[in-house]
Structure 1
Amino acid sequence: MRAALRLAGRGLAVAVVVVAGAALLLGVLVPRVAGATPYTVTTPSMEPALRVGTLVVVRPVEPASVTTGDIVTYQLRSGEPTVVTHRVVGVGTTVGGDRTFVTRGDANEVADPRPVRAVQVRGTVWYAVPGLGHLAGLVPGQQRQTLGTVLAAGLLGYAVVLVVTEVRARRRKVVA
């Protein structure tokens, strides 16, 4: 019975490490390496595709490559930090030849009131992880990156300890 509980405990520990490691990898490390930016969905305007609390990872793109159907993250006002993530429902051009986009949240009945200029577009949604945004929202900006790095190092260390412990246990069994 004790051996079964020990095995179940190890299995649970490995599962926790794998899930936490995957969350860190998808939410912190991959975006940083790829030059992408993670954002948290805070309103239901994109439901059911992107529910509140979803972490979306946005990769920079050339505005010329954005087409109808793409989900883009854009600044409400150029140069300001507030962003919105909505689907492109139309593409146009200004009299001066600049590209613009008509956007709308999937849950909204009408398009957004103002066209989005190319300079406002931060990128398109590369991938999304449901629920992970809730965790990201618990820790603010720069502290999130530091915490992510510390947690990744801690999880890696814990994984090494688990492997070393298992190797030692197997060696003891072989010797005995």
Structure 2
Amino acid sequence: MGAWFVSSLLARISLGTAAVAVLWSVLLIPFGWTSAVVVSGSMMPEIRAGDVAIASPIDPADVRPGQPILVDNPAKPGRLLLHRVVRRNPDGSFVTRGDANRVDDSLPVPPGSVRGLPRLLVRYVGLPVYWHARGDYRHLTVTAGLLVTLGLLAAKRPDEDGDAGLHRAGGGHARWRPGRPAARHVRRA
């Protein structure tokens, strides 16, 4: 096995794994599930920034204390929040807190803001979104370069000139390579 084969195989496995992870992150959206990139460490150590949480719809009446829930963030309209339910208030709203936080969130979550119950966590797939949100373009550039390199390795062929027949090796002798019939050599006097 040549170095080309190993590097090409590893590149294809890496790209395929990344593609499957991204696919899982968006596949269930048409069925009412919600996909969200975690952008803070408030749910550490189980859920990290850059992970993608995929949540199934849930009736707010079925939400219980101790469950993590994905909600419309009452403190930051237009953004999602993934925190654990601490308790339910008499008015039906929820008090939430991040696992890594020492205090409860300052605003209760109305029942109508519940988006879902996280069912699937896809590690690392959301890191480019997280880096972009933080303005960390160094990591984005390195990741883009790595993906381009992997793509080139996966697409590269061992013989880019298309000649899969005879090749001259070292001492001027012809060496047969699969793909073409071997040529007959005729010596001229």
TM-score, normalising length: structure 1: 0.66
2:121 aligned with 1:128: yes
Size of the aligned set, in residue pairs, is: 144
In the alignment, which residue of structure 2 is the partner of 1:68?
Answer: 65
Q: Provide the C-alpha distance between the structure 1 equivalents of 2:16 and 2:101, rounded to a whole number of angstroms.
A: 37
2:104 aligned with 1:107: no
Equivalent in 12, 22, 25 of residue 24 of structure 1: 22
The answer for unaligned runs of 5 or more in structure 1 is 141-154, 160-171
Q: Provide the C-alpha distance between the structure 2 equivalents of 1:133 and 1:35, rounded to a whole number of angstroms.
A: 20
In the alignment, which residue of structure 2 is the partner of 1:59?
Answer: 56
The answer for unaligned runs of 5 or more in structure 2 is 134-150, 156-177, 180-189
In the alignment, which residue of structure 2 is the partner of 1:118?
Answer: 111
Structure 1, residues 114-137: CA drift from partner, whole Å, max 9, x if none?
A: 322101111121211222111344
In the alignment, which residue of structure 2 is the partner of 1:35?
Answer: 32
Q: Provide the C-alpha distance between the structure 1 equivalents of 2:10 and 2:18, rounded to a whole number of angstroms.
A: 12
Report the CA distance shift for 1:139/1:105 in structure 2 as closer, same or farther (over 3 A): closer
| Runs of 4+ deviating beyond 4 Å | 137-140
TM-score, normalising length: structure 2: 0.62
Offset of 1:138 from its aligned partner? 6.6
Q: CA RMSD in A?
A: 3.3
Higher helix share: 1
**Identity between Structure 1 and Structure 2 (%):** 30
Q: Provide the C-alpha distance between the structure 1 equivalents of 2:130 and 2:73, rounded to a whole number of angstroms.
A: 21
Structure 1, residues 49-93: CA drift from partner, whole Å, max 9, x if none?
A: 211111111222110111111111212339x41221100011232
